[in-house]
Amino acid sequence: MTINNSLLSQILLLELFLFASIPDLAVSSALEVAPRELFKQAGLLGPTFGSQKCVFVLATGRSGSTALMDALNQIPNYLIRGEHWSAFWNLYSAYLRLKEVKFGPGQELFEWPKHANDGASEIKQAYERHAPITRLPLFSEIMDDRIMLATRMYYSVLYGHYGEGTVSGFKEIRYVCGTYFGHRATCTENFHAFTRFLRGLCGEVKMIFNTRYTPSLEQNAKLFYMDNTTVGRTANTFQDELVQTHALFDEYTKNNPDHAFRVYLRDMYDPKRNWTLAQNLLQFLGEKQNIPIRFNRMPGWQPGR
């Protein structure tokens, strides 16, 4: 297996930081630099660290997301992956939990932002001052920038493996109301929080929201059948949550035209619309509009699927 030099250097620099945090190791004086300063010198902090451009497709099932992924992958330097069975929800949950730790019992004693440039010995001294007199069940000096760094590293190692010249991303049908986003008000809250999280993974993020043209039960009968065998929602609940998903996708795209784009299954396969859709999609992505992309290149589902 080969790994590009840029990514390899990032991994080595991350290991460098880890070694610098272990006082028993015989390391060079360069490794004694405070963690945050080491990150800054290595270019590992700040909004541009990690994969530079990413495209994420959030879709409802049976709405053409695989064909849309294939159309994106017809752009020469794009490598958009398929579904990951909602694995990034676990990463998002870990990201949230780690950020919440700083509000745990005893954490207010440390005023961690003031220790941002401290090394391991200073952190240990702070711990030793309080440990004999106070219980510290959630002791942790890990602040938000390091959590975001680790999250970006996770994404970059898996999806940004081939370097800055490749636009990476994925498509997923499970980030919708009624499943991972929850129900009603919870769905709205989780949708906006999760899209903010995704936008933090790369330097530039483009979001594409893909559904059928309407959330009617008639248009989404195949999705309802598939959903009924797994989630088991009633027809009314299924449609209510599909309506909410469509509304969230529509509103977000309307309010964020610089990084959000809407794609309907109907337009992908309509000869009167798909050429215009392809042109608008390429323009949205900042790519040359003479790149030939087709939405019907990949074989569709077999009859009955």
Cα distances from 253 to residues 137, 259, 262, in angstroms, run 43, 8, 7
Q: What pLDDT is recorded for position 264?
A: 99
Nearest to 270 by CA among 218, 212, 221, 223: 212
Q: What pLDDT is recorded for position 231?
A: 82
218-240: burial string, b at 16+ Cβ within 10 Å, e else: ebbeebbeebeeeeebeeeebbb
DSSP 141-162: ---HHHHHHHHHHHHHHHTSTT
* Structural domain boundaries in the chain: 1-44, 46-101+142-285, 103-141
Q: What pLDDT is recorded for position 23?
A: 36
Q: What is the rounded distance in angstroms from the CA atom of residue 8 to the CA atom of residue 46?
A: 19
Residues paired with 141 in a beta bridge: none
Residues paired with 111 in a beta bridge: none
By the 10 Å C-beta count (0-12 exposed, 13-18 middle, 19+ buried), 148 is classed as buried
Task: Please state the separation of Cα 297 from the chain's center in Å.
Answer: 27
Q: pLDDT by residue for the chain (305 residues), tens digit each?
A: 444 555 555 555 554 443 333 333 332 333 333 344 544 554 554 444 578 999 999 999 999 999 999 999 999 999 999 999 999 999 999 999 999 999 999 999 999 999 989 999 999 999 999 999 999 999 999 999 999 999 999 999 999 989 889 999 999 999 999 999 999 999 999 999 999 999 999 999 999 999 999 999 999 999 999 888 888 899 999 999 999 999 999 999 999 999 999 999 999 999 999 999 999 999 999 999 999 999 999 998 765 55
**Fold (topology level) of 46-101+142-285:** Rossmann fold (3.40.50)
Helix (H, G, I), strand (E, B) or coil at 264: strand
Residues paired with 167 in a beta bridge: 78
pTM, two decimal places: 0.84
> What phi and psi values does residue 44 have, to the nearest 5 degrees?
-100, 0
Q: Where are the beta strands (DSSP E) in 44-158?
A: 53-59, 78-81
Residues 6 or more apart whose Cβ sits within 8 Å of residue 38: 13, 16, 17, 20, 31
Residues 6 or more apart whose Cβ sits within 8 Å of residue 55: 72, 78, 80, 167, 168, 169, 205, 206, 207, 208, 285
249-267: burial string, b at 16+ Cβ within 10 Å, e else: beebbeeeeeebbbbbbbb
Report the amino acid identity of residue 136: L
Q: Which residue has the tokens 């709205």?
A: 188
